[in-house]
C-alpha cells in the first residue's frame, strides 16, 4: 500500500487526476471504477479541465460506478446518476453507453444486482477503482457488519451514513435508506485501487483502515489485502497515522 499525505489540496487533486490520465493515455480503453461523494469532486473537475485542454480523451474508456440510492429515479437531482453527469460525464467525451451505474429504481433490484455483476464479470476487471471512505470505514456502501457481501447487493444504510448523506437533501426524511452497492469482492478485483480521503472526520476511519486489524467491522481494512492500493490523504485525514 502506498500512502501519500498532501499539505496542499492542489497536489492531492493533481495526483489523483494524473493517475487516471496516465492510465487512459497508456490504455485508451481502460475501465474506470468511479465513486460519488465529496472526496473525488476536485479530481473530477481536474479531469474535465484536462479534457478541455486536450490533454486526455475518454472516448474509448468505460466506467462502472460503485453504487446508487434505491428508490430515486436516475433523473432525480440527488441520484448518483445525476451526480456523475453533473460533475464528470457532461464535461468529458466519455460515450454515455459505456458509463454504468446500478439502477436503484429497477422493479427487480435482485435482477439488477445480478446483471451488474454479470457486466463486471464479462467486461472487467476494472483497471482503476476510485474509492472514498465513510467515517465508519465503509467503501462503496459496504457498511460495517459481521459479514460482508462479495457481489453487488442491496444494503440498508446505517443511521450514520443516512445522516452524513442528509447534507445533500432538504430533510432527513428524504434521504434514501437503502442503496445498491458493488460488493467488496468486486471492488477487490480491480487491478489498482485509489483511495481518497480528506478532512478530520475521516482520520479515525483512515487509521483503522490502513493500520488497524483487517475486519468486516471496518470494510476499508480489507484493502490491506489488495496488492496495488494508492492512498491519497490530506493532512487532517492522515493525522492519526503512525
Residues that bind ligand F6R (CB under 6 A): 35-39, 66-67, 132-134, 138-141
C-alpha cell at 38: 465529496
136 catalytically annotated: yes
Given 81, 87, 112, 138, which residue is catalytic? 138
- What b/e sequence results for 217-234 when a residue is b if at least 16 CB atoms lie within 10 Å of its CB, and e otherwise? bbbbbbbeebeebbbbbb
What is the strand order of the sheet 192-197 is part of?
A: 2-6, 229-234, 192-197, 128-131, 31-34, 62-65, 99-100
Q: Is residue 138 flagged as an active site residue?
A: yes
Q: Which of 136, 153, 165, 234 is catalytic?
A: 136
Residue nearest to ligand F6R (CB): 132
Number of Cβ atoms within 10 Å of the Cβ of 240? 16
The answer to whether 69 and 79 have CB atoms below 8 angstroms apart is yes
Catalytic residue of the set 68, 112, 117, 143: 143
Q: Under DSSP, is residue 205 helix (H, G, I), strand (E, B) or coil?
A: helix
By beta-carbon proximity to ligand F6R, the closer residue of 57 and 82 is: 82
143 is catalytic: yes
Q: Shortest approach of ligand F6R to residue 133 CB, angstroms? A: 6
Exactly one of 67, 117, 127, 234 is catalytic; which is it?
67
Q: Could you confirm whether 11 is annotated as catalytic?
A: no
Comparison of 13 and 133: residue with beta carbon closer to ligand F6R = 133
Contact 197, 206 (CB under 8 A): yes
> For ligand F6R, which is the closer residue by CB, 43 or 94?
43
Catalytic site positions: 67, 136, 138, 143
Amino acid at each position: 500500500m502506498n500512502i501519500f499525505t498532501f499539505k496542499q489540496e492542489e497536489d492531492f487533486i493533481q495526483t489523483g487526476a494524473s493517475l487516471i490520465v496516465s492510465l487512459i493515455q497508456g490504455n485508451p480503453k481502460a475501465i474506470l471504477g468511479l465513486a460519488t461523494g465529496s472526496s473525488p469532486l476536485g479530481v473530477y473537475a481536474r479531469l474535465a479541465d484536462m479534457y478541455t485542454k486536450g490533454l486526455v480523451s475518454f472516448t474509448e474508456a468505460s466506467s462502472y460506478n460503485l453504487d446508487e440510492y434505491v428508490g430515486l429515479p436516475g433523473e432525480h437531482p440527488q441520484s448518483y446518476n445525476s451526480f456523475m453527469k453533473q460533475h464528470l460525464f457532461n464535461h468529458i467525451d466519455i460515450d454515455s453507453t459505456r458509463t454504468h451505474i446500478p439502477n436503484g429504481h429497477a422493479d427487480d433490484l435482485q435482477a439488477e444486482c445480478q446483471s451488474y455483476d454479470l457486466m463486471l464479470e464479462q467486461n472487467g476487471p476494472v483497471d482503476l477503482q476510485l474509492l472514498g471512505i465513510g467515517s465508519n470505514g465503509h467503501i462503496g456502501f459496504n457498511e460495517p457488519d459481521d459479514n460482508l457481501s462479495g457481489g453487488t447487493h442491496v444494503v440498508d444504510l446505517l443511521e450514520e451514513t443516512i445522516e452524513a448523506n442528509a447534507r445533500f437533501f432538504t430533510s432527513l426524511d428524504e434521504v434514501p435508506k437503502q442503496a445498491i452497492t458493488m460488493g467488496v469482492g468486486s471492488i477487490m478485483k480491480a487491478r489498482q485501487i485509489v483511495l481518497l480521503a480528506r478532512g478530520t472526520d475521516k482520520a479515525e476511519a483512515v487509521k483503522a483502515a490502513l493500520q488497524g486489524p483487517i475486519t468486516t467491522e471496518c470494510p476499508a481494512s480489507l484493502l490491506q489485502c489488495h496488492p496495488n492500493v494508492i492512498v491519497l490523504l490530506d493532512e487532517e485525514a492522515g493525522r492519526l497515522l503512525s
